[in-house]
C-alpha cells in the first residue's frame, strides 16, 4: 500500500478510536454510578456531647470531612442522650425503626448508629439479634467528646460510613467500628475505661480494619444474626426482667432470692472460672429454680465458655416420660451482659428450656 493511503487509513482508525473513547466518557458522565446511600441514626453519647450542648445528627454529618467521597449521607435524630440512659423500650423502638427504614427504602445500602461507649456493646448485640436484614448496620462512638483535644468522633464516623457503604460488609451482622477496627457486635467488649483502643474481641480478634486505601476483612461471623434471627421485635411489647448477679468470695444467695421475689423471669450468674459460685449462692439458685425462674450460667473471666449440659434420662424411666422443666442454661461463650440480652429475647418467644439452650448454642 502506498505511504499516503496508509497514513490516511491510520488517521481514520485513530479518529474512530478517539471518537469511541469520547463517546464512552460522555455516557459515563451522563449516568455515573451513584454512591451508596447510608443513613445516620443518632442516639447521642460522647461522640455528640460537646460543651454547651449535644451535636445533632445533622451537625455530626457536617463535621466529617470527605464523607461525600464514599457515600450519600442522610441523617435522623432518634435520641440524644448517654448510652446508659437508653431504656429497653428505646432498644425495641430503635430496632423497629431500623427495620422500617430498610423495608421502606430499597436503595438504602446501610445504616450507621451512634452510641455512647459505656453500653455500646449491649445496644449493638441487641440490634444484632433483632434487625432483619443482611445489609450492614454499623455502631460507632468515641471516647473523647467534641470539645476535647484529640476528639476521634469524626474519624470513627467516616470509617463507620465507609464500612456501611462497602458491599463486603453485607451478611456480617451488626458491626462495631472504632479506632480503625471492625468488630462483631456479638463478641466485642469495652476493655478500658479511657483508652481509644478500648473495644476489642478477646480470643477471636477483629473482623477487619479500615485503612486509607480500603476496608479489609480477615474473618467472618458464623453465629446466627440479623436476617437469620428468629426474634421479631414487631411482636414484642416489652422485654421481660432479667438480672445479672456476680460471683465473688462469700457471695450471698439472698440477693438472688430477692431478685426472684421482685419478679425477675431470668437471672444470669457471672460465675468464677468455668461455673463456680460462692457462699450461699447455690441456695439462691435452687430457690430461683423452684420458683420457675431461668438461671443462665456465664463466666466473669472475659473469655472462655460454659458448656451446655445434657440431661440424661432418670434411672428406671424411659425417654417418653415427662421430665421436669429445664431451667439451668449454659451461656456458652457469651459475656454475662450479652447473655442477659439473649435471655430476654428468648423468654419473649418461649419458656421451653431446651429451646432456650438451643438459642444459646446458635446465637
Tell me the C-alpha distance between 320 and 310, whole Å: 16
* Inter-residue contact 361 to 344 (CB < 8 Å): no
Give the whole-angstrom CA distance, residue 89 versus residue 8: 78
Question: Do 244 and 207 share a structural domain?
Answer: no
Which CATH number is 207's domain given? 3.40.50.1170
My answer on whether 67 and 46 are in the same domain is yes
* CA-wise closest residue to 138 among 177, 108, 170, 99: 177
- Are the C-beta atoms of 75 and 130 separated by less than 8 Å? no
Domain range for 352: 239-310+324-362
> What is the rounded average pLDDT of the residues 107-128?
98
Mean pLDDT score of the chain, rounded to an integer?
A: 91
> pLDDT value at position 90?
98
Helix (H, G, I), strand (E, B) or coil at 309: coil
CATH of the domain at 292: 3.40.50.40
Is 234 inside a domain boundary?
no
In a domain, 15, yes or no: no
Last residue of a domain, one of 205, 228, 251: 228
Average pLDDT value for residue range 60-66? 97
For residues 56 and 342, give the distance between their C-alpha atoms in angstroms, rounded to a whole number.
31
User: What letter does residue 193 receive in the DSSP assignment?
Assistant: S
Residue 139 resides in a domain:
yes
Question: What's the Cα-to-Cα distance from 172 to each of 141, 147, 183, rounded to whole Å?
Answer: 19, 34, 10
Query: Does residue 316 fall inside a structural domain?
Result: no
Same domain, 219 and 281: no
Residues 217 and 261 in one domain: no
Contact 111, 127 (CB under 8 A): no
- Give the 3-state secondary structure of residue 184: strand
| Angle between the N-to-C axes of helices 336-349 and 120-130, in degrees from 0 to 180, rounded to the nearest 10 | 30
**Same domain membership, residue 247 and residue 215:** no
Q: How far apart are CA 297 and CA 52, in angstroms?
A: 44
Phi/psi at 8 (5° precision):
-65, -40
3-state helix, strand, coil in the chain (%, to 5): 35, 20, 40
* Sign of the dihedral defined by the CA atoms of residues 63, 66, 220, 182, in that order: negative
Are 223 and 245 in a shared domain?
A: no
The structure's pTM equals: 0.89
What was the pLDDT predicted at 32? 74
> Quick one: pLDDT at residue 12?
45
Looking at the fold, whether 250 and 211 belong to one and the same domain comes out as: no
Position 16 scores a pLDDT of 43
Where among 175, 198, 228 does a domain terminate? 228
Count of alpha carbons within 13 Å of 272, Cβ hemisphere only?
10
Which pLDDT score is estimated for 311? 54
Measure the CA angle with vertex 154, ends 171 and 140; round to 5°. Answer: 35
Residues 6+ apart with CB under 8 A from 141: 45, 46, 47, 83, 114, 115, 116, 117, 120, 153, 156, 178
Establish if 41 belongs to a structural domain: yes
Task: Report the pLDDT averaged over residues 148-157.
Answer: 98
Question: Does a structural domain hold residue 217?
Answer: yes
Residue positions annotated with a catalytic role: 46
| Segment 31-56, tens digit of pLDDT | 478 999 999 999 999 999 999 999 99
Partnered with residue 50 across adjacent β-strands are: 53
Model pLDDT for residues 312-357, shown as the tens digit of each residue: 444 455 555 566 789 999 999 999 999 999 999 999 999 999 999 9
Closest by Cα among 44, 137, 57 to 99:
137
DSSP per-residue string spanning 316-339: T--TTS------EEE-BT--HHHH
Pick from 161, 193, 228: which residue ends a domain? 228
Q: Rounded to whole angstroms, how far apart are CA atoms 170 and 268?
A: 32
Residue 349: count other Cβ atoms within 10 Å of its Cβ.
15
Mean pLDDT for the stretch of residues 66-86: 97
Helix (H, G, I), strand (E, B) or coil at 92: helix
104 and 75 together in one domain = yes
Say whether pLDDT at 27 is over 70. Answer: no
* 90: in domain: yes
Q: Are 326 and 346 in contact (CB under 8 A)?
A: no
Q: What is the pLDDT of residue 38?
A: 98
Question: Are residues 247 and 192 part of one domain?
Answer: no
Is the same domain home to 277 and 297?
yes
Count of domains in the chain?
2
Phi and psi (nearest 5°) for 325?
A: -55, 145
Q: Is the pLDDT of residue 20 over 50?
A: no
| 87 plus 147 within the same structural domain | yes
Reduced 3-state DSSP string for 50-97: ECCEECCHHHHHHCCCCHHHCCEEEEEEEEEECHHHCCHHHHHHHHHH
Is 342 part of a structural domain of the chain? yes
Distance separating alpha carbons of residues 330 and 345, to the nearest angstrom: 16
pLDDT at 4: 55
| Inter-residue contact 63 to 83 (CB < 8 Å) | no
Q: Do 179 and 56 lie in a common domain?
A: yes
Amino acid at each position: 500500500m502506498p505511504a499516503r493511503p496508509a497514513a490516511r487509513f491510520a488517521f481514520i482508525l485513530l479518529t474512530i478510536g478517539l471518537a469511541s473513547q469520547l463517546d464512552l466518557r460522555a455516557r459515563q458522565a451522563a449516568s455515573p454510578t451513584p454512591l451508596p446511600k447510608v443513613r445516620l441514626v443518632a442516639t447521642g453519647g460522647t461522640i455528640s456531647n460537646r460543651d454547651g450542648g449535644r451535636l445533632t445528627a445533622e451537625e455530626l454529618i457536617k463535621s466529617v470531612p470527605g464523607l461525600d467521597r464514599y457515600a450519600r449521607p442522610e441523617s435522623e435524630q432518634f435520641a440524644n442522650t448517654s448510652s446508659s440512659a437508653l431504656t429497653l423500650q428505646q432498644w425495641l423502638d430503635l430496632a423497629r425503626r431500623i427495620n422500617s427504614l430498610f423495608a421502606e427504602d430499597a436503595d438504602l445500602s446501610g445504616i450507621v448508629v451512634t452510641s455512647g461507649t459505656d453500653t455500646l456493646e449491649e445496644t449493638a448485640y441487641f440490634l444484632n439479634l433483632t434487625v432483619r436484614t443482611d445489609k450492614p448496620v454499623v455502631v460507632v462512638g468515641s471516647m473523647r467528646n467534641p470539645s476535647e483535644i484529640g476528639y476521634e468522633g469524626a474519624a470513627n464516623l467516616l470509617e463507620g460510613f465507609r464500612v456501611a457503604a462497602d458491599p463486603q460488609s453485607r451478611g456480617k451482622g451488626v458491626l462495631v467500628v472504632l479506632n480503625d477496627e471492625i468488630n462483631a457486635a456479638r463478641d466485642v467488649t469495652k476493655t478500658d475505661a479511657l483508652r481509644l483502643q478500648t473495644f476489642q474481641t478477646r480470643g477471636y480478634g477483629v473482623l477487619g480494619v479500615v485503612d486509607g486505601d480500603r476496608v479489609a476483612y480477615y474473618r467472618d461471623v458464623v453465629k446466627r444474626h440479623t436476617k437469620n434471627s428468629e426474634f421479631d421485635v414487631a411482636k414484642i411489647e416489652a422485654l421481660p426482667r432479667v438480672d445479672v448477679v456476680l460471683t465473688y468470695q462469700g457471695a450471698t444467695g439472698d440477693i438472688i432470692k430477692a431478685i426472684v421475689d421482685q419478679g425477675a423471669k431470668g437471672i444470669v450468674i457471672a460465675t468464677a472460672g468455668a461455673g463456680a459460685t460462692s457462699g450461699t449462692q447455690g441456695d439462691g439458685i435452687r430457690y430461683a429454680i423452684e420458683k420457675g425462674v431461668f438461671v443462665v450460667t456465664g463466666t466473669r473471666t472475659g473469655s472462655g465458655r460454659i458448656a451446655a449440659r445434657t440431661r440424661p434420662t432418670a434411672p428406671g424411666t424411659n425417654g417418653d416420660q415427662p421430665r421436669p422443666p429445664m431451667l439451668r442454661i449454659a451461656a456458652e461463650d457469651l459475656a454475662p451482659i450479652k447473655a442477659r440480652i439473649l435471655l430476654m429475647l428468648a423468654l419473649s418467644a418461649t419458656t421451653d428450656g431446651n429451646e432456650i439452650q438451643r438459642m444459646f448454642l446458635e446465637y
